[in-house]
Each structure stands twice: as structure tokens, then as C-alpha cells.
Amino acid sequence: MSEWKETNLGDYVKSISETYKFLPNEEVVFLNTSDILLGKVLNKKLESSKGLPGQAKKKIRKGDFLFSEIRPANGRYALIDFDADKFVVSTKLMVLRCNENLDVNYLKFFLTSRENLDYLQMIAEDRSGTFPQITFDHISSLDIKLPPLPEQTAIASVLSSLDDKINLLHRQNG
């Protein structure tokens, strides 16, 4: 087994806040925190950009990972594994983008592990404010042990296969 590097997640992930530039009479898909759950995008319906809420601001692209700033333990996260040119997301969703040394699926499994979700939820609840909320600083300061990229990809692939099998069993046992 090769060497795993101990580092901070912030060395490999950025929080992206590109503003979506709306065209006149454009139809887009707006994703709020309620539109993503446990890795899935629940809403892909185009709607008029007129009348969208003020938090409909962020542009995303394929390969981004969305993670809710509010109540992290609620499972409001999703990997964007499709062309997202017509998608705009809420300012309450972090748009996380990996550099070339971090597999986005590995990030997904790391960040959404029960241990990390519980830790981030604890931080969120310690914050004074309207909602239990985290910031990108909380995520970027997480310690992570990173194997080389090919191993990250292999680990994430195995975990994805196990998830698929578990989901299939749940559906069969309905």
C-alpha cells in the first residue's frame, strides 16, 4: 500500500461562488437545500428565472459537490454528475470543487461519513444564529488522510458499488 498523506481538506477543495448570469426570459432549474438529499438531485424541472428567490445565485457545473450549510446531518448533499448549464443553486448550498489531486467521489464519502456529519452538526449547533449552520472554513479545516488519486478512485468505486447493492436490497424488501 502506498503512502497516505495527512492534510487538511482545504488544501484540495475550494468553495465556488460564481454568480449565475440570467438571460432575459430564461428557464432554469433552481436547487434549494430541499431539492437535494443523500446524494440525489430531486428537482430537475425548468422554470422561469423571473420570480426566483433572492438566494438563487450560484452557478454550478458537472463534477461539483453540493453541501448544505444548514443542518449538515440532515443529508442535504449531492454530486453533480450531469451537465448543469441551466442550474442555479441557493446561497445556502456550498458548491465544493476538488482540485486534480482529489477524487470528487472520495470527497463525497469522506464528507458524508457519519463521523464527519455528526462533527459538523455539533459545530453548527454551537453557533448562535437562526439555524444550525456551518461555513466552508469548518469543512476546509477537516483533517483527511489521502491516498494517491488512483487509490481514492478505487476506494470510492468500491463504496459506490456497496451503496448500489444496499439500495437495491432496500427496494426489493420495500
Q: Distance (Å, rounded) from C-alpha 169 to C-alpha 98?
A: 32
pTM for this one? 0.92
Q: Distance (Å, rounded) from C-alpha 65 to C-alpha 114?
A: 17
- pLDDT above 70 for 2: no
For 10-64, what is each residue's pLDDT tens digit? 999 999 999 999 999 999 999 999 999 999 999 999 999 998 999 999 999 999 9
Confidence of residue 165 (pLDDT cuts 50, 70, 90): confident
The residues pairing with 133 across neighbouring beta strands, listed in sequence order, are 70
Helix axes 104-111 and 149-173, enclosed angle (nearest 10): 60
Q: Distance (Å, rounded) from C-alpha 9 to C-alpha 14?
A: 9
pLDDT (0 to 100) of residue 167: 74
For cell 488522510, name the residue.
Answer: 145
- pLDDT above 70 for 1: no
Could you tell me the three cell numbers for 165?
447493492
- What residues contact 117, with CB distance under 8 A and at least 6 apart? 72, 73, 75, 111
For 93-119, what is each residue's pLDDT tens digit? 999 999 999 999 999 999 999 999 999
Identify whether the C-beta of residue 80 lies closer than 8 Å to the C-beta of residue 41. Answer: yes
Q: SS3 for 24?
A: coil
For 129-161, what is each residue's pLDDT tens digit? 788 899 999 999 999 999 999 999 999 989 888
pLDDT (0 to 100) of residue 129: 75
Which DSSP state fits 91?
Answer: T
- pLDDT above 90 for 164: no
Domains of the chain and any CATH numbers? 5-173 (3.90.220.20)
Helix axes 104-111 and 114-126, enclosed angle (nearest 10): 60
pLDDT (0 to 100) of residue 166: 76
pLDDT (0 to 100) of residue 14: 98
Q: Return the closest-CA partner of residue 99 out of 40, 57, 31, 146.
A: 146
